Amino acid sequence: MDRQPSPLWTNSSSLLRKTGTWRSAKPEYILSPSPCLGACPVNGRIAEWIGLLMEGDVKGAWLTLVDNNPFPAIAGRICHHPCETVCNRQQMDEAVGICSLERHVGDVAMREGWSFPVPEKEGEKSVAVIGGGPAGLSAAYQLRRLGIKVNLLEQQPQLGGLLRYGIPAYRLDKKIVDYEIRRIIDMGVDVELSAEVDDQHALQKLHDEFDAVYIATGASQSKALPGLDYSQSWVIDSAEFLSATNAGEPCSLGSDLVVIGGGSAAIDVARTARRLGKSVKLLSLEPEHLLPAQKTEVDEAIEEGIEFVTAAQMQSVSKDGGSLILECIRINFNQGEERGKFTINPVPGSEFQLRTDAIIPSIGQDADTSRWQSLLDSDGTVVKTDDCWQTSTQGIFAGGDVASMDRFVTQAVGMGKQAAAEIGYYLEQLLSGSPVMNANETEFSEINTNYFPAAARNKQADLEVDDRLQNFSEVQQPLAEDHALAEASRCFSCGSCIYCDNCYLYCPDMAITKLKHGYEVKSDYCKGCGLCVAECPTGSVVMLEEGQGTA
């Protein structure tokens, strides 16, 4: 039908009207760091890999994880998870169980047999890494990814350092350690076991032979408790006790033990001794709430029947027939401003006695810095390094416990990663960078919690106490597949776009275009109302005044 348009009919689309001219601010999509990323010792892109896990892409999650940490199954068991302490979700209900999810991803990777690629192109440069613990292995891994040849020298008969010889099997099964180390070695790392670099000449030789050297020998010398006679048969070194037990040859002791110390290692010693059928007391200067060990470790130790004698100090030991008598006193413990700078005051008249068969002091470990004294400056406790983890000798780098007082396993992994990047830079083989973060850390106020239904945390089960004490089986049980998925979906994905389309669907001006992976603002029509920002669940879009770029 041929019809003349009436003058009363509209004849064009409103698209001709560019309402974008009304605007004074415009939305900008950002990738801003989540608080967990800032807290993570390896700077893992946690929001990103949990996002992939949520979508069911476990492989993608693993690939993102191992970009920064080659040990997800290990870290998922023993990391002190500072990420969870800063998790925005705890301001709504409970923090996301990040560590349990990391373990889940790590375990799936082992089950599926995912491996790291051997570098496509082999570079000219080679680096000697001294020490096959978490820092050394992490550095070796990152260096191999750059195509740099790595010679890894380990003093012990097996690789792993603290992971193998320090941490008991009930926290970290040695099969996991074997697997995740093997995966790194298979990238083409040359390993020399039982190899000692015991003086500056040996180090100098490596320095001459290789383009760079990385020292990650850890801190393996137990700190001595003043006034205690270590030559007595009833005093046992804690590191020796743990490594002997981990090697399957526990030291012979009486049936009653006192462990002295309040850190993770002391708890490890105490719980290991419980599993050997001993009756164990743990004597610490700190009161229970200030113990440096993690709270879950303390709780589990108490469940296992370890008696905590806290805020107390041993003053002397005497022999009484077959057993020992420890003269102790209650103390007031003052934490002090800095870690390790505490003060103590004995409470007069509070003396008491403990009766036992043996003592295992476990008050920390020192690094051996003296053997390379003439080549490397140290401050007496650790090897001195600059901002780039380089020691006083050019081309020799150091990290982990030998160069830092940050003594958690994942901190060592993070230091290894950083040093590898610096060594790569030093050898002019630059790293391919992670996505650039272009904004401040995402705060809880930027999360629109209306899109996240309340959901309690999916907790990992522990082995029953009676079963635990029978052997060295892992205490902490994995999350079931469906629980892991439910836990992942509790993540706010702070600062990372999750492509939920809220910005697109809430726009009253149809001014957002959906791209294949992301969104674009139509400048012609966006009026700058900010609804997209207000209704973004994750805080990954912000309003910027016109003409203002992202920082």
Partner 1 sequence: MDMIDYPDGEQFSPGHVACAGCAEALSLRVILNTLGADAIAVVPPSCTAVICGGYPLSSVSIPVQHTTLESAAASASGVKRSLNALGKTNTTVVCLAGDGGTYDIGLQALSSAAERNEDILYVCFDNEGYMNTGGQKSSSTPLNAITGSTPAGKLSRKKNLVEILAAHRIPYIATCSPAHLSDMSAKIKKAASIRGTKVIMVIIPCLPGWGVADDAAVKTARMAVDSGVFPLYEVEDGVDYTMTIDTRNQSVNAYLKQQKRYRNLSDKNISDIQADVDKEWEYLLGRARK
Q: Which residue from 260, 332, 258, 267 is spatially nearest to 293, judged by alpha carbons?
A: 267
Tokens standing for 417? 């990663």
- The least distance separating partner 1 from the CB of residue 296, rounded to whole angstroms, comes to 29
Asked if 57 touches partner 1 (CB under 8 A), the answer is no
Stretch binding partner 1 (CB under 8 A), from 40-48, 322-330, 445-453, 478-486: 445-453
User: With respect to partner 1, which residue has the nearer C-beta, 463 or 500?
Assistant: 500
Site for partner 1 contains 528 (CB under 8 A): yes
Measured CA to CA, the distance from residue 321 to residue 314 in angstroms comes to 20
Q: CB-wise, 272 or 502, nearer to partner 1?
A: 502
Cross-strand bridge partners of residue 519: 514
- Name which of 498, 505, 507 is nearest 539 in CA terms: 498
Shortest reach from residue 458's CB to partner 1, in Å: 16
Please report how close the Cβ of residue 502 comes to partner 1 at its closest, in angstroms.
Answer: 6
71 backbone dihedrals φ, ψ, rounded to 5°: -120, 55
Among 321, 349, 435, 508, binds partner 1 (CB under 8 A): 508
The one among 31, 195, 235, 531 contacting partner 1 by CB under 8 A: 531
What's the min distance (Å) between Cβ of 492 and partner 1? Answer: 9
Is residue 197 near partner 1 by the rule CB under 8 A?
no
Q: C-beta of 543: minimal distance to partner 1 in Å? A: 8
Instruction: Give me the torsion for CA of 399, 402, 408, 411, rounded to 10°.
Output: -10
Is 17 near partner 1 (CB under 8 A)?
yes
Q: Is 445 in the site for partner 1 (CB under 8 A)?
A: no
Nearer to partner 1, 371 or 522 (CB): 522
89 binds partner 1 (CB under 8 A): no
Q: Which stretch binds partner 1 (CB under 8 A): 205-213, 396-404, 465-473, 507-515?
A: 507-515
Beta carbon nearer to partner 1, 224 or 534: 534
- Residues from 449 through 468 that contact partner 1 (CB under 8 A): 450-453
> By CB under 8 A, is residue 500 in contact with partner 1?
yes
Is 11 near partner 1 (CB under 8 A)?
Answer: yes
Residue 84's CB: how many other CB atoms inside 10 A?
21
**Does 244 contact partner 1 by CB under 8 A?**
no
Under the binding rule (CB under 8 A), the answer on residue 495 touching partner 1 is no
> How many Å apart are CA 469 and CA 467, to the nearest integer?
6
Burial class of 110 by CB neighbour count within 10 A (0 to 12, 13 to 18, 19+): middle
Please report whether residue 444 would count as binding partner 1 according to CB under 8 A: no
Q: Which of 1, 3, 15, 515 binds partner 1 (CB under 8 A)?
A: 15
* Cα separation, 477 vs 115, whole angstroms: 24
Q: Report the nearest approach of partner 1 to the CB of residue 98 (Å).
A: 17
**What residue type is assigned to position 70 of the chain?**
P
Residue 370 sits in the site that holds partner 1 (CB under 8 A): no
Q: Which is nearer to partner 1, 9 or 208 (CB)?
A: 9
User: Interface residues for partner 1 in 132-151 (CB under 8 A)?
Assistant: none
Q: Are strands 149-153 and 126-130 parallel, antiparallel or unpaired?
A: parallel
Q: Is residue 485 part of the contact set for partner 1 (CB under 8 A)? A: no
Residue 299 contacts residue 269 (beta carbons within 8 Å): no
Q: How far is the CB of 111 from partner 1 (least distance, A)?
A: 28
* Residue 503 is a binding residue for partner 1 (CB under 8 A): no
Task: Determine the Cα–Cα distance for residues 341 and 433; give it in Å rounded to an integer.
Answer: 38
Beta-bridged to residue 331, according to DSSP, are: 346
Q: Which of 6, 13, 370, 445 binds partner 1 (CB under 8 A)?
A: 13
Residue 14 contacts partner 1 per CB under 8 A: yes
Helix axis angle for 98-112 and 58-65, nearest 10°, is 110
Own/partner pairs for 40-43, CB < 8 Å, 24+ apart?
40/68, 40/82, 40/83, 40/410, 40/414, 41/82, 41/406, 41/408, 41/410, 41/411, 41/413, 41/414, 42/68, 42/69, 42/75, 42/138, 42/410, 42/413, 42/414, 42/417, 43/68, 43/414, 43/434
Q: According to the binding rule CB under 8 A, does residue 537 interact with partner 1?
A: yes
Amino acid at the residue 512: I
Q: Is 495 left (phi over 0), alpha (psi -120 to 50) or beta?
A: left
State the nearest-atom distance from the C-beta of 451 to partner 1, in Å: 5
In angstroms, give the least distance from the CB of 447 to partner 1: 11
Q: How far is the CB of 100 from partner 1 (least distance, A)?
A: 20
* Residue 533 binds partner 1 (CB under 8 A): yes
Judged by beta carbon, residue 18 or residue 201, the one nearer partner 1 is 18
Written as six digits, the tokens of 310 are 């806290």
In angstroms, give the least distance from the CB of 452 to partner 1: 6
Taking the C-alpha atoms of residue 369 and residue 415, their distance in angstroms, rounded to an integer, is: 18
Binding window for partner 1 (CB under 8 A); candidates: 69-77, 292-300, 373-381, 534-542: 534-542
Question: Is residue 529 at the binding interface for partner 1, with CB under 8 A as the rule?
Answer: yes
Between residues 252 and 450, which has the closer beta carbon with respect to partner 1?
450
Nearer to partner 1, 427 or 536 (CB): 536
Q: Minimum distance from CB of 57 to partner 1 (Å)? A: 16
Using CB under 8 A as the binding rule, whether residue 544 contacts partner 1 is answered as no
- Tell me the site size for partner 1, rule CB under 8 A: 41
Sign of the torsion angle spanned by Cα atoms 435, 437, 441, 444: negative
Q: By C-beta, is 22 or 425 nearer to partner 1?
A: 22
Task: Give the burial class of 297: count Cβ atoms within 10 A of its Cβ; 0-12 exposed, 13-18 middle, 19 or more buried.
Answer: buried
- Joined together, the tokens standing for residue 50 give 């949990």
Q: Pull the structure tokens for residue 19.
A: 């309402």
Tell me the C-alpha to C-alpha distance, in Å, between residue 111 and each of 13, 51, 58, 104, 160.
58, 21, 12, 11, 21
The binding site for partner 1 (CB under 8 A) comprises 9-19, 22-23, 450-453, 489, 498, 500-502, 505-511, 522, 524-525, 527-531, 533-535, 537
